[in-house]
Amino acid sequence: MLTKTPHLFDDATQVTAGDSRWQGKTSEDYWAFVGPFGGATAATILRALIDHPQRAGDPLSLTVNFCAPVAHGAFDLDVRLVKANRSSQHWCVEMTQGGGEVSTLATAVFAERRPSWDHTQAPFPGATPFAQARSFPRTPMTWTHQYDFRFVEGEPSFYGTPSLSPPISAYSKQWIGDHVPRKIDMLSLMSMSDAFFGRVFLARREMIPFGTVSITTYFHTASEELADEDISHVLAVADAKIFHKSYGDQSGELWSPNGRLLAATTQIAYFKA
Amino acid sequence: MLTKTPHLFDDATQVTAGDSRWQGKTSEDYWAFVGPFGGATAATILRALIDHPQRAGDPLSLTVNFCAPVAHGAFDLDVRLVKANRSSQHWCVEMTQGGGEVSTLATAVFAERRPSWDHTQAPFPGATPFAQARSFPRTPMTWTHQYDFRFVEGEPSFYGTPSLSPPISAYSKQWIGDHVPRKIDMLSLMSMSDAFFGRVFLARREMIPFGTVSITTYFHTASEELADEDISHVLAVADAKIFHKSYGDQSGELWSPNGRLLAATTQIAYFKA
């Protein structure tokens, strides 16, 4: 079942169906510091849920807790429908490798997105068009090779001199698309939610030991609306509120180029500085 | 073990220890539309974790998914330490009643908060002092009787004429304390994270059917730091990004009166309008 698909992202997030136990494998193409890129792990979990025969509705919320490093190779996903209501579902997913301890723990909510009163409160960030923005150079982490990051504001400077005098800013605005263009779907939104560079890198202006502990993404679009957008990149903004006692946060938004808010994400991450 | 304690909040969030199965009961004093106030449920889950003999470190993150209405009376909490690392722990909690289906599903991360580089990026909102702000009148929901809400900006007007012409704002800034003053602890922060009125009520300027589906709170203070603050109210701000296809979001911050960010929270909620 794990066939090579045309796009590396689909290969990296491939799953093999089981009843309650699904299988996947890590991808060398989406590797980070000490394990797979968390966004690819989260997208793989989301794929297992979307592909699940009992799934109904669109992804509304996904929280992924990264409990332990994931090793190269195969993993199992224990996928459990915890509670199904008339128009929503609650899921729990546990990732293990070789029958060992849980490395990733996730909960998800799916829901039917019925028409309602509609209002977007957050302002569209706006930006220089994707085509006119400059691509960010590759980093040693292979997952960054799979994306085309085009910063409009707050481009990280990893190799400069750490400057800890104010103004310190952790804000950035950037286009994100797959390096090999791929139509944005729910899996893209989940993965791209974790495709911001650590806010502490920007605030400190240096690379330091860092790891996402927990990420939550809310999907603000129905699947068919997203398909109708027919886009291959999003405009993303991210910022941090605080760095305190070895943990810092991040909030982010993913927008369609024509100004629709597609997803919002928050995470808390460990850092050493 | 379920003794009457001096403060209603402690009574409402009381738990009886078990090995992996803990017990609690809903409180008539913290009742919302169709079930217990979600903040009290979340705080009860947090209390079970904090009181657990295997717990190490401070709460860092708690996500609570409200799967089904909770009925009046007793409930069980299945409390499971999913993964323990050297300086962090991952927990999963499932609430059931009478051996039935899961009504609430939560995951939590606890961590040792070691000293580090420290920087607060978010600006302190600032406000008229608590003593000079006016208390918000009670609503029919009993849980609102247990809190003293003092709005500084964006006081909800539930009984006015719905106005859907711009400017629509879902922002509010308010003091929150227990009606009977109680020293702010981690349980307070969790409960108060869900003690904002639904953002859609502000945006629509009317009460409509509403229910939180999933809430995530990040704790940005160590327990002993919070104890040292020795405060009985917090300055809270909340806003929404979007209301779309029957679901809307909320982001909030809880600050100490002297300007320290204590917790940040996000939630996604159902509404009918």
What distance in Å separates the CA atoms of residue A20 and residue B80, rounded to the nearest whole number? 20
The pLDDT score that the predictor gives to residue B2 is 47
- Return phi, psi of residue A115, to 5°: -55, 145
* Mutation target among B95, B102, B109, B121 for the A interface, most CBs of A within 10 A: B121
User: How sure is the predictor about B216, in pLDDT bands with cuts at 50, 70 and 90?
Assistant: very high
A83·B94 Cβ contact <8 A: no
Lowest mean pLDDT among A158-167, B18-27, B72-81, B156-165: A158-167
Distance CA B191, CA B200 (A): 20
Q: Provide the angle, in degrees to the nearest 10, between the axes of the packed helices A186-193 and A38-51.
A: 150
Q: Which of A185, A190, A207 is nearest to A198 (CA)?
A: A207
Provide the pLDDT for residue B156: 85
Nearest to B176 by CA among B156, B199, B194, B198: B194
Calculate ∠ Cα B186-B191-B193, nearest 5°: 95
Q: Tell me how close the Cα of A106 comes to any Cα of chain B, in angstroms.
A: 8
Instruction: Give me the residue from B218, B246, B251 closest to A268, CB to CB.
Output: B218
Tell me the pLDDT tens digit for each residue of B159-195: 666 655 666 899 999 999 999 999 999 999 999 999 9
Q: What is the pLDDT at residue B33? A: 83
pLDDT at B121 over 90: yes
Question: Distance from A242 to chain B by nearest Cα, in Å?
Answer: 4
Query: Is the pLDDT score of B20 beyond 60?
Result: yes
Q: Which residue type does A201 have?
A: F
The pLDDT score that the predictor gives to residue B165 is 62
pTM for this prediction? 0.95
Q: Which of B68, B218, B273 sits opposite A116 (nearest CB)?
A: B273
Q: Which residues of A touch B85 (CB under 8 A)?
A: 67-68
Contact A121 B169 (CB under 8 A): yes
CA nearest neighbour of A92 among A195, A168, A20: A20
Q: What is the mean pLDDT of residues B130-155?
A: 92
Closest CB from A61, A102, A115 relative to B82: A102
% of chain B residues with pLDDT over 90? 85
- Residue A135 per-residue DSSP state: B
Q: Which residue has the tokens 């009984």?
A: B159
Three-point CA angle B27, A87, B205, nearest 5°: 65
> How high is the pLDDT of residue B4?
53
Interchain contact, B68 vs A83, CB within 8 Å: yes
Which percentage of chain B shows pLDDT scores above 70? 95
Query: Residues A42-88: pLDDT tens digits?
Result: 999 999 999 999 999 999 999 999 999 999 999 999 999 999 999 99
Q: With cut-offs at 50, 70 and 90, classify the pLDDT of residue B258.
A: very high
Helices B38-51 + B186-193 axis angle, to 10: 150
Instruction: Give the burial string for B23-51 (b: 16+ CB within 10 Å, else e).
Output: bbbbbebbbbeebbbbbbbbbbbbbbbbe
ipTM surpasses 0.90: yes
Which range is least confidently modeled, A45-54, A55-64, B88-97, B203-212?
A: B203-212
Mean pLDDT of B44-50: 97
Per-residue pLDDT of chain A (273 residues; tens, 9 = 90+): 444 568 999 999 999 988 789 999 999 999 998 899 999 999 999 999 999 999 999 999 999 999 999 999 999 999 999 999 999 999 999 999 999 999 999 999 999 999 999 999 999 999 999 999 999 988 889 999 999 999 999 888 766 666 556 668 999 999 999 999 999 999 999 999 999 999 999 999 888 999 999 999 999 999 999 999 999 999 999 999 999 999 999 999 999 999 999 999 999 999 999
| The dihedral sign for the CA sequence A193, A198, A199, A205 | negative
B169 and A103 in contact by Cβ < 8 A? no
Q: Which residue of A has its CA nearest to B261?
A: A242
